[in-house]
Chains A and B, each alone.
Chain A
Amino acid sequence: MQNLTRKAIASAVALVISAGTLPVFAAEPVVQGPESVQDWYKQGHHFIRHSERIVDNHRHAKNVILFVGDGMGISTVTAARILEGQLNGKPGEENRLSFENFPNLALSKTYSWDQQTSDSAPTMTAMVTGYKAREGMLSVNHLTARGECDAAKIAANSLPTILEQAAAAGKATGVVSTARITHATPAATYAHTAVRDWEHNGQVTAACAGVANPVKDIARQLIEVSPTVAKSLKVALGGGREYFRHNTQFDPEDTTKKGLRTDGRDLTAEWVGTRGANAKFVFDQAGFDAATPTNTSHLLGLFERSHMEYEADRTNDTAKEPSLTEMTAKAIDMLDNNKRGFFLHVEAGRIDHAHHAGNAKRALLDTVEFAKAIKKAYEMTDPRDTLIIVTADHSHVFTIAGYPHRGNDILGMSKEVPAVDGSPTAPTKAGDGMPYTTLGYQNGPGAASNPRSNDLSSIDTTALNYLQQAVVPMGSETHAGEDVAIYATGPKSYLVRGSMEQNWIYHVMKEAFGF
């Protein structure tokens, strides 16, 4: 329809020009990309030459880093790429997030054993164990009963994780997340449980009353991992402090708040007490900065009572906290002095939360920070011996809509290329006569809080707190079931190719390690 309108106007203009009523020269397009005509061909030619020089690395990997952008679907990658470019003063579309330069790419099918569209528990279980699993369950097989409390049954159904196997092989290991370190994605690397929400003992007690030997809560599992993993797991950085501290213990940052544990245990102290003389627990930027590989053997950093701040809000934090890039760099510093190498998992956990809230800008800024962390990891490691995999656990119902022109503010209203060169751009009107934003959600809070009856012309849609419009009203925007991407570089990264089942990611890492 839009094309037809454009063609009709163009025809009319051509007719007028031919009749001699307008100057014969055409106006300059208002929207112009920075490329010359030759640039397009040169870029393609360069890509082919560069690709032909890439040689698959068949060696085993000394190190493996698994980056997971929680909820980072392909539309999120695209929008974040454009936003990062625009933040650097460019049109944005031509930009590449750091990991988009990796040589190997595949699509990951994210369904789980019982879910068409999955949550983070079975998806991360698939990636770190090699087995698809059940909704809400962490690193146990799909024979596990929903809500299974019995520790013996959980043990019988537990699946070894790539982190545990790396530890058994003498490698150093680490887990980093901007979410709680007990949240589903990071927890799947070290914990085994039927319920992802059993993060502190009170939740297990409430659900498993009367069970003689209930499964341990996730925070406790982190502290009471096997001796081999305890020795290997040198760094755990993220949020979730109150899940490790008891309910008569005041928080060191939010000093009027207390921990959540009802068993009287302070697991942060237990970390320090069980990991050797140089083990440390830190909760703020100063403590984080002071911990170095020379003065710290095992570092537990829990920087918020619950999840860490969004990157957009991080500088406002009371006690200050490190960025994902800083945590990634610290983790690599802590791990890479192990001669047998390391396994590290890094999660950008809050992309998912911002999407659930219907707040695209925070989701994208966290994605941009995620890309910076990956760039840092790539720079700090040797691509000849370090396999880096970047992927997502699942997608979100997040869309890039309309026919916005090149360089249009990705957070703004959709404005098309003008039908007549020289004409200014203007917001495109939808069928209801109202403008619409390029970014939106199929469902979520924006459906009710920012209805179509709102005239967006008077609203700053680029504001940090703006909630994009949505179609189906829901208190929380939902995950989406389409494939997500897998990006890989380093030894065995050529095995990341084509259409893959999500659990095959584990097999790539295992093959790379040579287990």
Chain B
Amino acid sequence: MNLKKTVILGCLGLGLSVMATAQAHEAHHGHQPADSASSTAGQPLKPLAARFDLSNNKLRTEWYLWRDADAVETADLATGQNNIWERQGKNDYSYRRVFHRDQRVVEYTPGEIRTRNAEPDWVKLASVVSPELLDSLKRGPSRMQFGQRAVRYSGILNGQKIELWWLEQARLPARLQIIGPQQRMELSLKEIHTEAPATWPRATDERIASYGKIDASDFGDMESDPFVARVMQQDGHHHAH
């Protein structure tokens, strides 16, 4: 059984709002090294900002991604949550989960990420689709989208039909569709920029300056805090797939 593929598809099925978290979970399930062989011959990922439409059965949301050499941030308008991964050096990662509706930020230090065995595959975080998933799909024809070549990949994994249009230059999906017995998920790229429009919902320092900060290593001592209890419940659900 390929645990990685199962987890990837399961996480996509939950919606991209959880993707960054779930990808970290996948990495720690699978002990994936930080620099995957599928990172297109080790070339660094180009900085960019992208806006997607995401539908998961009847739920629809706008989903954003910003990436540069050492940071990946996502935002989900439906959940009101941003996730920010930062890389220091080669193997130190920090992670912040910004909950706008609660005005809280949960911070995972590099030590806490190591302790939770949750070090991410950076390429996977920054490309949305894991290189392993890409390798397991059948490559098809190509066409021009967003001013660059998009290649069609398709296949069936764990009973789910997957169709992907993959932007080879940006290393990002132009369109990803997953259809299973009880689920239909679709992610469609709407905009891509080298510099993000200022109006996009990034969790800037100014925006979150007044938010309460929680060190994730304190969760065990904060179970009576309703916010922490809810986040831990949510994490437990994600872990349970």
| Interface, chain A (partner B; CB < 8 A) | 119-120, 135-136, 184, 196-197, 202-203, 206, 247, 258, 260, 262, 306-307, 309-310, 313, 316, 318, 350, 352-357, 359, 362, 445, 448-449, 464-467, 473-479
Contacts and interface: CB of A to CB of B under 8 A. Distances in A.
A206 B212 contact: yes
A356 B219 contact: yes
Interface string B103-139: 0000101111011110100000000000000000000
A445 B220 contact: no
Interface in B209-241: 209-210, 212-213, 215, 217-225, 231-233, 235-236, 239-240
Contacts of B112: 353, 357
B5 interface: no
A306 B239 contact: no
B100 interface: no
B60 interface: no
A445 B239 contact: yes
Given A309-B111, A359-B115, A475-B236, A197 B220 contact: no
B28 interface: yes
Contact of B115 (A316, A354, A475): A354
11 contacts: A119-B221, A120-B221, A184-B221, A197-B225, A203-B212, A307-B109, A448-B240, A449-B28, A449-B239, A474-B232, A479-B220
B1 to A, nearest CB: 9
A355 B232 CA distance: 16
A203 B233 CA distance: 23
A275 to B, nearest CB: 27
Contact of B212 (A202, A354, A449, A464): A202
Given A466-B117, A467-B116, A473-B239, A352 B109 contact: no
- Which 6 residue pairs of A and B lie closest in terms of their CB atoms, listed nearest first? A356-B220, A475-B232, A448-B239, A476-B220, A465-B117, A475-B235
A258 B235 CA distance: 28
Contacts of A478: 220, 223
B220 A306 contact: no
Given A359-B116, A449-B29, A465-B117, A475 B212 contact: no
Interface in B1-48: 25, 28-29
Nearest to A184: B221
Contacts of B110: 313
Given A362-B115, A473-B240, A306 B233 contact: no
A474 B115 contact: no
A247 B209 contact: yes
Nearest to B223: A476
Contacts of B222: 197
A237 B235 CA distance: 33
Contact of A135 (B219, B224, B232): B224
A475 B219 contact: yes
B43 to A, nearest CB: 26
Given A356-B220, A357-B112, A306 B215 contact: yes
Nearest to B235: A475
Contacts of B111: 309-310, 313
Given A465-B117, A475-B232, A475-B239, 19 more contacts: A197-B225, A202-B212, A262-B210, A307-B109, A307-B217, A313-B111, A352-B221, A356-B221, A357-B220, A359-B116, A448-B239, A465-B114, A465-B115, A465-B119, A466-B117, A467-B117, A475-B219, A475-B236, A479-B220
Interface majority SS (helix, strand, loop, mixed), chain B: helix
Contacts of B221: 119-120, 184, 196, 352, 356
A445 B115 contact: no
A136 B221 CA distance: 9
Interface majority SS (helix, strand, loop, mixed), chain A: loop
B206 to A, nearest CB: 11
Name the interface size band of chain B.
Answer: 35 or more
B240 A136 contact: no
A65 to B, nearest CB: 24
B233 A475 contact: yes
A408 to B, nearest CB: 23
B163 to A, nearest CB: 30
B115 A357 contact: yes
Contacts of A318: 88
B71 to A, nearest CB: 11
A260 B208 CA distance: 12
Contacts of A203: 212
A393 B71 CA distance: 39
Nearest to B112: A357
Given A136-B224, A359-B117, A449-B25, A474 B217 contact: no
Contacts of A465: 28, 114-115, 117, 119
Nearest to B25: A449
A477 B220 contact: yes
Nearest to A459: B31
Given A119-B221, A449-B29, A476 B232 contact: yes
A353 B210 CA distance: 26
A357 B25 CA distance: 14
Contacts of B236: 448, 473-475
Contacts of A445: 116, 239
A478 B221 CA distance: 9
A473 B107 CA distance: 22
Nearest to A353: B217
Contacts of A350: 217
B118 to A, nearest CB: 9
Contacts of B220: 352-353, 355-357, 476-479
Contacts of B219: 356, 475-476
Contacts of A357: 112, 115-116, 217, 220
Nearest to B214: A197
A247 B213 CA distance: 12
A464 B240 contact: no
Contacts of A473: 236, 239-240
A202 B214 CA distance: 12
Contacts of B232: 474-476
Contact of B213 (A119, A136, A260): A260
Nearest to A447: B239
